[in-house]
Structure 1
């Protein structure tokens, strides 16, 4: 088995491609060792001592290193952990099998309830995020989650390599905000949640 590695726009994060499916559907973000207790793979990556974030995408794992970490030393350790996991076909989540069964649901709660009168606007926003934005941020090793729409403002949460990336504010303000404003005139602003 060979694991490809790609850089991301976030210099602290590398994207690892094991050449097979990681998540059967959705994504999962682990921002702390406590979050990682749900996944033996995420826990093993945090156990290297230099990892501060792990993100599972459909066919990749993004790993974020802490300040001062040396990717020259950390990268072989991460590859070894990933190889051990995928070659042994170990379960991705505690209590599940390698296919991802028993994946603990991630918190999908909105920041606030969307106004039912804006259901068509929210549907347009979510469609654009799903078809135009998520594929682009996934190619950079991350994801974006819709968190709400209120008074013209769309609230989004960046995950994986996109979380904490120096260019994430520009992505939100100049890329995503421009796209949403163009197609959904009711959108006046995009903010990080």
Structure 2
């Protein structure tokens, strides 16, 4: 087995590609060692003591290094952990099930969607799914919809996109421009 790596726009994050499915559906982000206890793989990566974020996408794992850590030192450790995990075909989550799949949006909403806006919210989610999500996944991240209220779309960038120096530009110039073009009711996009 061979684990490929790719750089991301976030210099603190590398994208690791094991050449097979990581998540059967959705995505999952771990921002603390305590969060990562749900996943033996996530926990093993955090156990290096040099990691601040682990993100599972459909076919990749993004890892963010702590300040002061150099990739030439950390990268071989992460590759070794990933190789051990995928070669042994160990379960991704504790208990061997998929219960660790991304938290449902209803539990993480910043604002409650007004039922009167259902058609607008559907258009927003369709654009996020078909146009935005593939682009941010290519950079080692994901995007989570957090609500729509008074013309404002609330989104959370995850994985490599979280904390990326260009994340503001991604939200404001990329995603906001796209949504405003196709959904005239959208006046702004904000990070949530």
Bucket of the pairwise TM-score, normalised by the shorter protein: over 0.9
CA contact 1:38–1:104 (8 Å) conserved in 2: no
Indicate the residue corresponding to 2:49 in structure 1: 49
How many Å separate the matches in 2 of 1:54 and 1:78?
11
Q: Is 2:147 the partner of 1:142?
A: no
Partner of 2:130: 131
Q: 1:70-149 maps to which residues of 2 (within 5 A)?
A: 70-96=70-96, 101-103=98-100, 105-108=102-105, 109=107, 110-149=109-148
**Match in the other structure for 1:175:** 174
After superposition, the CA RMSD in angstroms is 0.9
Change (3 A) 1:59 1:104: closer
Q: Give the length in aligned residue pairs.
A: 190
TM-score scaled by structure 2?
0.97
Whole-Å separation in 2 of the counterparts to 1:104 and 1:62: 16
Question: Does structure 2 retain, via aligned residues, the 8 Å contact 1:153–1:191?
Answer: yes
Match in the other structure for 2:22: 22
**Residues in 1 aligned to 2:119 and 2:171: alpha-carbon distance in whole angstroms:** 22
Runs of 4+ more than 6 Å apart: none
Structure 1 CA distance for aligned equivalents of residues 25 and 101 of structure 2: 12
Q: How far, CA to CA, are the matches of 1:104 and 1:140 in structure 2?
A: 20
Q: How does 1:31-46 map to 2 (within 5 A)?
A: 31-46=31-46
Greater shift, 132-141 or 110-119, is seen at 110-119
In the alignment, is the contact (CA less than 8 A) between 1:155 and 1:191 conserved in 2? yes
